[in-house]
Amino acid sequence: MGGTVSRRAFVATGVSAGAAVAGVGAFAGSAARAAASGEAAGGALPPAPRAAGRPMPELERPLADSPERRLGWAVVGLGDFALNHMLPALGRTRHCRLTAVVSGNAEKARAVAAAYGVPASGVYSYDDFDRIRDDRTVDVVYVVLPNALHAAWTERAARAGKHVFCEKPMAVTEAECRRMIDACARAGRRLMIAYRAPFEPHNAEAIRMLRAGEAGAIREIVADHGRPLDPEKPADRWRAEAALAGGGSLYDIGIYSLNGARYLTGEDPVEVRATYRKPPGSPGPGGRPIDVEQGIAWTMRFPGGAVAHCTSGYDFQNVKRIQVMAERASLALDPATEYEGNRLIVTRERGREEPKLGESSLQFVGELDEFASAIRENREPRRGTGPEGLHDVRIMQRIYEAARTGRPVEVPPAR
């Protein structure tokens, strides 16, 4: 009959298989009962493993505040920098949370709000921004707009009763900076300028070493910042227009060299000299003239004897480096002010070393949490005060004057 199985044989086979299965089931049940009672052929079984509580481990970073205790932030301007860096950083902070967005593009604003869990009531346009006065979920307004708009939007936010965190440069002119300081003072609100680099771990370690005297007296600083400008890109278009940018590569990226020399020396310059390499009106990419300077070099003399040699440019590949030459060591931050991947190399007589420090992206978290702490503690922020931002603009105006005239220009003291 080949492979054919008769009905009788099938039934017999089925009965045998059923009996085998029943036997296995009985054995399994017996084994389970034995395990439950702690009985086995070899003696008592060990107790089954159980989850157990453990003490709190040592935390790399303190726990974040509960959401209701964090300060609510409204971000004004949803461009490349805000979306790719600052909004993700807000989510990593201890003391901050995103509660509102402000944009001239309603579709973009709604999409960003939905992605970050901001309700429809927290979506504002540039036109209806002033109703934010009644939004009790917003404590801080973060201004991430072109430079020429910083003063007006800081004043609007202060009038609405909000603290203000403003991107650098603080404004275009000294007079605008004073307006911003005065507006926040009248409203009884805090103001901080977004100087992120001092919160970056490698820069912070360089500051610590220099303040502690580990490198000795500073002799020279060399600081260079440059990147290609592409006016065809939306993120760069306004930077090529003096009416919106107020200045060129100096205001945009040269400010890192300027402010870096200030926080590394712990001093303010007393004199500047400068020269334009590509003055306003020089051809840019594609040959079209650009009405802000694309290249400038300057030196700053400090009261303690140090001299800083600085450059900024819109026409060379990405360079963001600062080097400090001191009597017992040199410190090379290269890159110094990138969003990620910065390095610090210290060279002494006995050799070179590269300290292993935290991730560079923590600089954004650090500055945001510092402002939140300053607000809670009713004090000025430790970095990025209004007067600091004002003095950078004052110095940059003197650098432009020195470049125009070809003469050294004294810098009045901060006041």
**β partners of residue 275:** 297
122: number of Cβ within 10 Å: 21
Provide the token pair at 170.
């603080």
Nearest to 251 by CA among 148, 388, 141, 336: 148
Which strands make up the sheet holding 295-301, listed edge to edge?
Answer: 351-353, 344-348, 330-333, 319-326, 218-226, 307-313, 295-301, 271-278, 409-410
d(CA 210, CA 56): 36
d(CA 319, CA 226): 5
Q: In a 3-state reduction of DSSP, which class is residue 312?
A: strand
Q: Are 197 and 174 in contact (CB under 8 A)?
A: no
Given the residues 168, 233, 278, 356, select the one marked as catalytic: 168
Provide the token pair at 359.
């991730």
Q: Are 150 and 167 in contact (CB under 8 A)?
A: yes
DSSP 248: S
Nearest to 301 by CA among 193, 402, 415, 175: 402
d(CA 389, CA 167): 10
Reply yes or no: is the peptide bond before residue 231 cis, omega within 30 of 0: no
d(CA 257, CA 280): 20
**71-76 vs 140-143, strand pairing mode:** parallel
Provide the token pair at 334.
């290269």
d(CA 170, CA 192): 9
d(CA 231, CA 314): 11
Catalytic residue at 278? no
Amino acid identity, position 74? A
Active-site residues, by number, are 168
